[in-house]
Structure 1
């Protein structure tokens, strides 16, 4: 059987076509993977690289802005994650950006970038940043321990003999007392009986103060009587002082002039009688003050 004409040419054309398709596919894949994009390098430092594989995306606000190119071990024992960031997406990364490595309960870890201030200077090429870890699985034991402590405290607070129940019982008792006849006063003093005694004592004190006020400052009271007695005593003492001055003048005159001794003696008798009268009036007024003034029973008035 004869071979189809030009079979060799057709085979060559088919082979070239297949090779071209494969090359185009590879080029497209490389383009889609950003092989031909202009990128800058970002180095993320982590304690370990568990779950981090080349080709992982680094996201910003849910969009891929970088791709893990390689993971290597640094001389200090840290994991260095080399991330290629396209130039067109590098403007989302600033010097104040924060990078996190989050691990959930299920699924692969995720590298995320957060930028709070987009007006900060751009992140330079080759920058090295420490990645913050957010391991949900590592937080579960802490959450369980915290929940257990919380439940134990809640159980201790709700026991019948707990301080909280005792405080609530005291508050309830105080509230019941405040609902009585004397209201807040009864609640503060411990009951209506104690409040009634306090009100009775207060009424007695008010009555005593009113009575004292009437006796001391009322009409014809101690204050008025004492004031009048003091006025009278002042007048008598002034009279006695004037009489004594006259007596001194007469004695001086009697001593200087011997011929008028009889006249001076007569004047001296009259003055002595005036002085004695004034002193008796003063003594009566002092006794009256001592009788009416309740705070000076032992007061004593000394006259010259």
Structure 2
């Protein structure tokens, strides 16, 4: 019995695939759907289908600004540059699409800046200081404040060049700094010399020697004062022993205490004597008062006697005038 022939490998590869056209069409459709879906997703992610409002920024220069550049607020993108153009006055009009969901961050008092950094590109930033102000309307036109850090580079280079020139002048040999350093070196050498501190303080070596001589004399005077203080301490110690006594001598304190006791006794006797004197004086004052009264009465009596004598004298004078009696007018009082 004959065996059937074996299939050729090429025959397996050339076998027709069932529904090949439908499968190819499905693959193409899937690929096209994937591409379109990716494009739509990218457009959605880029905010193409998101509702926006228009904002026009006016600047004097648009260097570094391009279509698609983000406009940031506090570091977060809230809009994108849509187009650039020139206005009639030569200003640059930058049209920005701001997402409506982020448009509430922009107010009528918002400030927009166009900043060019030394490192990195140009950025457009928005600043809203008062969030309670009215919101920015659609189609609003606002100026842009421009700040270019590279514009300061020439001025910085000029300042650095001037600083280097000043440093060269300071470090020159004939500069004031060089003179100051020389004076400092001379000052240090004088300080390191013997007696340098005094010579520096006084201004000359001779005056420094005089100061040293004065210090030596002061030390001698202090030594003498120390000796005098020691002798004075000895005198005070002896006086203490004489006054307060020592181990074998009672000192002057007991004698002074005994003298004080005797003086107190004498004062007591004198006090008692004074009491007696006060009594005698009181009696003498009473006797004096009686004598004063008697003297007053005697004065009145004498006045009366004198009045009587004057009357008698006048009577005798009248009698002698009328009769020729003796002219002896002397009147003797008893």
Bigger Rg over Cα: 2
